[in-house]
């Protein structure tokens, strides 16, 4: 009989998404082993969890094998923003591919279910809108974003091959733009960029015309989707889109950031980076049907919470106090 309280491994557990996932799993009564090499994650993201005896942190790079005993594995380890994954593109590819092989090998040995945090970037600059899970994507295999895009695509291949060849119980989530507290302020992601620039009174840098679109999912909604996918029946392998289907232009997001911060910042346009997608919006019909999941936090509410977090973090930094949001990764 399956235990209700499990020992759960979260790779990348000290990152933005990983720390929120660790928190949610602990709240459900599980033991959590947080594994991170602290390249983009930070110990400060999980400091508040260290007093819980069911929580453990291990410094480890998943491009090397890991030998632990757990009941479930969430594989979130990988730099997820262009600034970070382009810093060392070879290591990014290794993390996606070697890391997947190592974690899948662990899942195979333990006969444990394993969830892969894949990405909407597997769709590239899509010709289909909104994006459904059966769309194969339009990805440049040799561009500056390819280390992440193709690394995640190859990781998905490995997951499904381990499922077909070895019977590993897999779950693949394709994560769309997610935001909220504990985002790294200098990761180049559009929400953190706009909020930090607005709070500092700096110009809001919009790349391209600002007419390109994105869909923004608040972190608590995304974490609920990941847990529901992990807890779904074994025949629900995915891939499953997890994201908010409400679509905004980048300029609209910039204007909201200015409005909700009360900033006097102006919007300035910069050239669009190579291979930057023009449109991105998930079709979440499969998540609704198989997981009973859909987002509940609207962008306006989530953005206000995120602004409050960064405002407090910046005040702490100005006062010389430790801040999860505005310190470099350890």
**What is the spatial order of strands in the sheet that 31-36 belongs to?**
55-59, 31-36, 7-11, 72-75, 114-119, 170-175, 240-242
* Sign of the torsion formed by the C-alpha atoms of 43, 48, 49 and 50: positive
DSSP label of 122: G
| Separation of alpha carbons 40 and 32, rounded Å | 20
Half-sphere exposure in the Cβ direction for 218 (13 Å, CA): 16
Helix (H, G, I), strand (E, B) or coil at 76: coil
The torsion angles phi and psi of 234, rounded to 5 degrees, stand at: -60, -30
The torsion angles phi and psi of 7, rounded to 5 degrees, stand at: -100, 120
| Separation of alpha carbons 99 and 93, rounded Å | 9
DSSP label of 272: P
| Separation of alpha carbons 240 and 123, rounded Å | 13
Cis status, amide bond into 139, omega within 30 of 0: no
| Separation of alpha carbons 62 and 72, rounded Å | 16
Q: Cβ atoms within 10 A of the Cβ of 218, count?
A: 22
Is 148 among the catalytic positions?
A: yes
28 Cβ neighbours under 8 A, 6+ residues apart? 227
| Separation of alpha carbons 321 and 89, rounded Å | 33
Q: Is 147 in contact with 86 (CB distance < 8 Å)?
A: yes
Residue tagged active-site, from 74, 123, 148, 162:
148
| Separation of alpha carbons 141 and 133, rounded Å | 20
Q: Cβ atoms within 10 A of the Cβ of 137, count?
A: 16
Please list the active-site residues.
148
């Amino acid at each position: 009989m399956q235990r209700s309280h499990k020992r759960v491994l979260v790779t990348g557990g000290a990152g933005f998404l990983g720390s929120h996932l660790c928190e949610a799993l602990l709240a459900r009564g599980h033991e959590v082993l947080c594994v991170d090499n602290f390249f983009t994650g930070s110990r400060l993201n999980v400091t508040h969890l260290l007093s819980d005896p069911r929580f453990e942190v291990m410094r480890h790079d998943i491009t090397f094998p890991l030998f632990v005993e757990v009941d479930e594995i969430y594989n979130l380890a990988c730099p997820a923003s262009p600034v970070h994954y382009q810093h060392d593109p070879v290591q990014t590819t290794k993390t996606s591919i070697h890391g997947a092989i190592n974690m899948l090998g662990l899942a195979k040995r333990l006969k444990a279910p394993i969830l892969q945090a894949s990405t909407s970037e597997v769709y590239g600059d899509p010709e289909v809108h909104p994006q459904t899970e059966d769309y194969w994507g339009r990805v440049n295999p040799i561009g500056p974003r390819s280390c992440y895009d193709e690394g995640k695509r190859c990781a998905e291949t490995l997951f499904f091959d381990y499922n077909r060849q070895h019977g590993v119980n897999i779950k693949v989530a394709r994560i769309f733009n997610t935001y909220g507290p504990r985002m790294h302020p200098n990761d180049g992601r559009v929400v953190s960029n706009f909020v930090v620039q607005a709070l500092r009174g700096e110009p809001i840098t919009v790349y391209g015309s600002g007419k390109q679109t994105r869909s923004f999912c608040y972190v608590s909604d995304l974490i609920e989707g990941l847990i529901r996918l992990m807890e779904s029946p074994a025949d629900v392998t995915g891939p499953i889109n997890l994201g908010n289907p409400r679509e905004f232009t980048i300029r609209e997001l910039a204007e909201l950031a200015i409005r909700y911060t009360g900033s006097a910042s102006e919007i300035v346009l910069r050239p669009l980076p190579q291979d930057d997608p023009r449109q991105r919006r998930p079709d979440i019909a499969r998540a609704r049907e198989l997981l009973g999941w859909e987002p509940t936090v609207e962008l306006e509410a989530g953005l206000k919470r995120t602004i409050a977090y960064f405002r407090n973090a910046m005040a702490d930094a100005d006062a010389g106090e430790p801040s999860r949001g505005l310190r470099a990764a350890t």
